[in-house]
Amino acid sequence: MKTLERVEPAQPKTAFYQRICEQLQELIGEEANFVANAANTAALLFHTLPDVNWVGFYIAQGEELVLGPFQGRPACVRIPLGKGACGTAAEQEKTLIVPDVDRFPGHIACDTASRSEIVVPLLNWGRVLGVLDIDSPSLNRFDEEDQEGLESVISVFLHSQTTNDLPDLSEGAADS
């Protein structure tokens, strides 16, 4: 495995996220396993993004999101679709930036140190596979440039997956 170089956040955000995408492509390589790639994506983002205290995935299962690979303090295990920032982003199928979690209706406080959040849905052929959730201990940490950059990261992540390695979202499998 190649040694990943430090990505400096002082550079313009577009260049910063471009370098993260390049490193993620190198890190993933030919690996297609969803869990392995989600774990490495979460670790890369957690150790690269400045001013974050939690980075992880929630995987769609039936009418809820279930905790997947993450970096940070222990987290909520299940989140109903439409509830909290993660469930809302999944239900609306769009990225959600929350500048102040205390002002978000129905916020689910898994880590009381989190003050702002961004949630990027994992969309595959019009289906929500889950979300990438990133929390910060600072207010107003995330902006539209972070949204564009993280959506690019998720694109790289999803591109690594093959149909056989994606979570089974069929009706019967979702209930098990």
Q: How far apart are CA 34 and CA 115, in angstroms?
A: 29
Spans of all domains in the chain: 13-163
pLDDT for 124 equals: 87
What is the per-residue DSSP string for 13-46? HHHHHHHHHHHHHHHHTT---HHHHHHHHHHHHH
pLDDT for 174 equals: 45
Tally Cβ neighbours within 10 Å of residue 125. Answer: 7
Residues 62-95: tens digit of each pLDDT: 999 999 999 999 999 999 999 999 999 999 999 9
Residues 127-175: tens digit of each pLDDT: 899 999 999 999 999 999 999 999 999 999 998 876 555 555 545 444 4
Cβ pair 134, 116 in contact under 8 A = no
Q: Express as a percent the part of the chain with pLDDT over 90.
A: 74
Q: Which of 6-10, 54-58, 73-77, 125-129 has the highest mean pLDDT?
A: 54-58
Q: Which of 120, 114, 117, 119 is nearest to 99 (CA)?
A: 117
Which residues neighbour 3 within 8 Å (Cβ) at sequence distance 6 or greater?
Answer: none
In CATH, the architecture of 13-163 is: 2-Layer Sandwich (3.30)
pTM (2 d.p.): 0.86
pLDDT for 66 equals: 97
pLDDT for 176 equals: 43
Average pLDDT, integer, range 54-63: 96
- The mean pLDDT of the chain is 88
